[in-house]
Chain A
Amino acid sequence: DIQMTQSPSSLSASVGDRVTITCRASQGIRDRLAWYQQKPGKVPNLLIYGASTLQSGVPSRFSGSGTGTDFTLTISSLQADDVATYYCQKYDGAPLTFGGGTKLEIK
């Protein structure tokens, strides 16, 4: 099975910073990658699918890139509301594996 590895596992940044989270697949998954945001105590929310397509209603400061095995989620200007854990997920085929998550905090 393909493994999904996220880095870093935790991150502290200041409001206004540019933040980048990476996700690596152990084998190529084309662009079949999604990113989710889960705020504390809340349900996961789809941010990006197809590696780079922004889900409707998601702020434009979020962006995704990559194909094959290496992917990134970027927040162009961090806001206090972005405190959350972020997960990547492959969906090229079963199993629909999630990455281990990246916990983002405000410095």
Chain B
Amino acid sequence: EVQLLESGGGLIQPGGSLRLSCIASGFSFSNYGMSWVRQAPGKGLDWVSAVSGDGRTTYYPDSVKGRFTISRDNSKNTMYLQMNFLRAEDTALYYCARKYSATSGFDYWGQGTHVTVSS
């Protein structure tokens, strides 16, 4: 059974840093691209970053470029999101998601980890 388990969220002051983790199980992790998607309270889905299966290629929207870094350790079946210079507008539930293939969407999602940026 495919499972994605996020951790690392919490309350952090503006300007602070946080690292999220997503541990995967039930599939060959290195064969799949992965992403982080966030959802602010009462708002829609917002794609945050993506990483290729081998970890060599990463993608970001302009809203987080230069502040967030996605990475993965395939030996540990784990993906990370290093978030620096956090802002109040980064407050959200952060999901990790698996992209089945280049021609498909996100077929598995974790339950999410909450990030609150507030003084």
A contact residues vs B (CB 8 Å cutoff): 1, 32, 34, 36, 38, 43-46, 49-50, 55, 85, 87, 89, 91, 94-101
Closest Cβ of chain A: how far from B6's Cβ, in Å?
Answer: 11
Which B residues are in CB contact (< 8 Å) with A100? 44
Report the interface size class on chain B: 20 to 34
Contact (A87, B44) CB under 8 Å given A43-B111, A95-B61, A96-B35: yes
B119 within 8 A of A: no
Contacting pair A49 B104 (CB below 8 A): yes
Which B residues are in CB contact (< 8 Å) with A55? 107
**Distance A70 CA – B95 CA, assembled complex (angstroms):** 28
Find the residue from A32, A45, A91 having the highest chain B CB count within 10 A.
A91
Contact (A101, B103) CB under 8 Å given A43-B112, A96-B50: no
Work out how many contacts link A and B, with CB atoms closer than 8 A. 66
Interface CB pairs A-B, < 8 A, 19? A1-B61, A1-B62, A32-B103, A34-B104, A44-B45, A46-B104, A46-B105, A46-B106, A55-B107, A89-B45, A94-B50, A95-B47, A95-B59, A95-B62, A97-B47, A98-B37, A98-B45, A98-B47, A100-B44
B54 within 8 A of A: no
* B47: contacting residue among A38, A45, A46, A96, CB under 8 A: A96
Which A residues are in CB contact (< 8 Å) with B59? 94-96
**Distance A50 CA – B103 CA, assembled complex (angstroms):** 6
Residues of B38-67 whose CB lies within 8 A of A: 44-47, 50, 59-62
